[in-house]
Structure 1
Amino acid sequence: MNKAILASILASAAISGNAVAMSNTPDPAPEPTAAPGKVVRFIAVGDTGTGEDGQYKVAAVIKDICASRGCDFAIGLGDNIYEAGADSTSDIQFETKFEDPYAELDFPFYMALGNHDNSWLIGGDGLDNDKGDVQVAYHYKNDRKSDKWHMPARYYTFTAPANDINPLAEFYALDSNPLAAVADADPEYWQFPYREKQANWFNLAIQYSTAPWKIAFAHHPYLSNGKHGNAGMYDGFPGAGVIYRNFLKDNVCDRVDLLIAGHDHEMQWLKPTDSCGKTGHMVSGAGAKTRELKDRERNDAYWQADGVLGFFYIELEGDELRGTAYTVDKVSGEYQAAFSQTLQRQ
């Protein structure tokens, strides 16, 4: 795609996806309460973009579960196109690693960006965030196979139920990669100014939210018992991801009910931790790949599983969050509801 055209698209995206409050915005609403009778059901799945058998197996199970339980949408937790992202909006990988595997799913996917989507020298280095901009531009492509892919900007919000003037939930898609990776040569993605820009956007968005439930999602986790570990200590290196960790601690923690991430290829439902207040944590990075947990005792967990594919099914109703972890055998494709629990909004 011509760079000038891409720049124009992304400039429009920044306005439509990121500018949620203007100077004439009214005073923040009082603490919202959940209206009775509204239900929001969604899938949380990450690290999906292989186009291989595991992704298709998980998609088949999602189809079954949504047929029986109902689904409004899915959130995609990054690493949407392995191993090194897409080169243009016409890249065939959008079809082979998203459109085709999910062809039989008839609901929106709200996508976040991962390190593999922003690759430069090697797949997953996360050093070229301009590469990730292609996935934002794909949102605006007119001749896509479907309109399922939603990524109007690198970070953005949406509410559910859709088009409801009194939504039950607001979702915040965060752009973790520029803050969690080492660096980027493009000044647009230098870490400290990008952190401030995204923080200002988030603070305005959550300040004026009228939804009782608030859920953030991104690729990189705040907490994880997997290989990559906790923010600020990613992959065992002191300071790795510390800018992202501080962004979350200063802006997101204790202000959202749940932070859902991928990056590690296991299933984890982790308990709130003092450093992040009331916020709960999920890692759902087993949408196409599997891996073994690195340290099961690193963070307290309600439940965790490794060596299996899977996803979370989450249902919000009133002040209740009902979550189910579905695991999928990577060989047979057989699945089970491996863990379920109900939590109350705090």
Structure 2
Amino acid sequence: MNTMFFKALALGGFTASFALAESVSFIAIGDMGTGGDKQYKVANAIENLCQQKACDFAIGLGDNIYEAGVDSSRDDSFQSKFEQPYAGLAFPFFMSLGNHDNSHFASGGGLDNFKGEYQVAYHYRDDRSSDKWRMPNRYYHFTAPLGSEEPLIDFLALDSNPIAGGLDWDYQYWRKPYTKKHKEWINRTLSTAEAPWKIAFAHHPLRSNGLHGNAGFYDGLAGSGKDWQNLIKETICDKVDVLITGHDHDLQWLKPSRDCGKTFFIVSGAGGKTRSLTNPDRNPAWWQVGDSLGFFRIQIESNQFTGEAYVVDAESGQWELVYSHAIMKP
């Protein structure tokens, strides 16, 4: 493996817990569940990397199973698009839902949120081939190190699709009441979160230089994703350290914006598909790349957050570290 990297330094309903450690290391990967060769190449790169560096778990950023989710908790796609591609990885994946996970159609309209419930139900099957898939609810909270009574990080897995996506036919996923319920849960969870680091993750970004763009103007449509934008600004901005998302099939590490306080943004949606950056100047970035498979590895130790971006060649499977950035809490 040829390794090239650049370093930068800047100052700046459900609970699961996990063993006391001096640091926490995890993989951030999204838009991966194709079951195809590209997903396997990224999975192999993660396996090789995690033989060299610590990896405690992964967070899945949605579009877990393309193109239209699953039809039951026993759907064969759980095997072909998750268990088999990641068979070489022993750590858990904490998953969130994307628009393709909640859709009947390959277009990923996200209009059938009941389908996401099957992915929650898979978490509770006791006859799975592994226990890697973790999704105890559509949105949930866990802490790390996994099992510690003095956690270093609070994680909030959010459910963006009923809020950022289209209008669902089922009243329990109607945007306004669902947003209200989700907002109450986020506020309640953060009010008792005592870890020094706080990380939220979901599928839809607040900020993105990729095709879908920023919430409130997704895909060039004024008002698209506006409720998600408002929810994040009211509950997450300046209250968590980083919002990590997928949806755009590229890799981005974006700087904090004036209207979101200290919170910075990572987009890691290149776990199985690729796409160009359509407007790399839309939001200020520390680093970004399109047209490449890849993922982020993040390590938090004491008051330092270190992110590493890895790209994976779609033909050869060769992988390399292309960017590393450290952020210190004051």
Comparing 119-128 with 178-187, greater Cα deviation is found at 119-128
Corresponding residue SS for 2:298: strand
Structure 1 contact 18–153 (Cα < 8 Å) conserved = no
Structure 2 matches for 1:269-284, cutoff 5 A? Answer: 269-284=253-268
* Rounded Cα–Cα distance in structure 1 between residues aligned with 2:201 and 2:298: 13
The one of 78, 88, 110 equivalent to 1:104 is 88
Partner of 2:79: 95
Alignment of 1:279-290 (within 5 A): 279-290=263-274
CA contact (8 A) 1:270 1:299 kept: yes
Cα RMSD of the aligned pairs, angstroms, is 1.5
The one-character-per-residue Cα deviations of 1:157-216 (angstroms, maximum 9, x if unpaired) are 100001101000010000000001121111111111111101111111111011000000
Other structure's SS at 2:79 match: helix
- For 2:15 and 2:147, the matched residues in 1 are separated by 18
The residue identity in structure 1 corresponding to 2:199 is I
* Matching residue of 1:304: 288
User: Any stretches of 5+ residues in structure 2 without a counterpart?
Assistant: 1-12
The 5 A counterparts of 1:30-179 are: 38-179=22-163
CA distance in 1, matches of 2:21, 2:136: 29
1:18–1:201 contact (8 Å) kept in structure 2: no
Give the superposition deviation at 1:345.
2.4
Q: Which residue of 1 aligns with 2:308?
A: 324
In structure 1, what is the Cα distance between the partners aligned to 2:37 and 2:166?
Answer: 32
Q: Structure 1 vs Structure 2: percent identity of aligned residues?
A: 56
Deviation at 1:316, TM superposition (A): 0.1
- Provide the rounded CA distance (Å) in 1 between the counterparts of 2:173 and 2:105: 17
Contact 1:37 1:318 in 2 (8 A): no
Residue correspondences, number: 316
Q: 2:187 aligns with which of 185, 188, 203?
A: 203
Amino acid at match of 1:72: D
The answer on 1:313 being equivalent to 2:297 is: yes
Deviation digits for residues 23-70 of structure 1 (CA, Å, limit 9, x no counterpart): xxxxxxxxxxxxx97200000000010000000000011011111111
Change over 3 Å in CA distance of 1:228–1:87 after alignment to 2: same
What is the TM-score with the length of structure 2 in the denominator?
A: 0.94
Counterpart for residue 182 of structure 1: 166
- Secondary structure of the 1:260 match is strand
Deviation at 1:18, TM superposition (A): 7.3
Which structure has more relative contact order (CA 8 Å, sep 6+)? It is 2
Deviations 1:96-120, CA, capped at 9 Å, x for gaps:
0000000000000000000000003
1:232 aligns with 2:216: yes
Do 2:15 and 2:142's aligned partners in 1 also have CA atoms closer than 8 Å?
no
The residue type paired with residue 67 of structure 1 is Q
Task: Please state whether the residue corresponding to 2:252 is helix, strand or coil.
Answer: strand
What is the deviation of 1:344? 1.1
Aligned counterpart in structure 2 of residue 263 of structure 1, from 211, 235, 247: 247
Specify the code of the residue in structure 2 equivalent to 1:203.
N
Cα deviation per residue 1:134-166 (whole Å; 9 max; x = unaligned)?
000000011111000000000001000011010
Say whether the 8 Å CA contact 2:21–2:145 is kept in structure 1. Answer: no
Match of 1:9 in 2: none
* TM-score normalised by the chain length of structure 1: 0.89
State how far apart, in whole Å, the 1-side matches of 2:130 and 2:52 are: 23
1:61-84 per-position Cα deviation (integer Å, ceiling 9, x unaligned): 101111111110000000000000
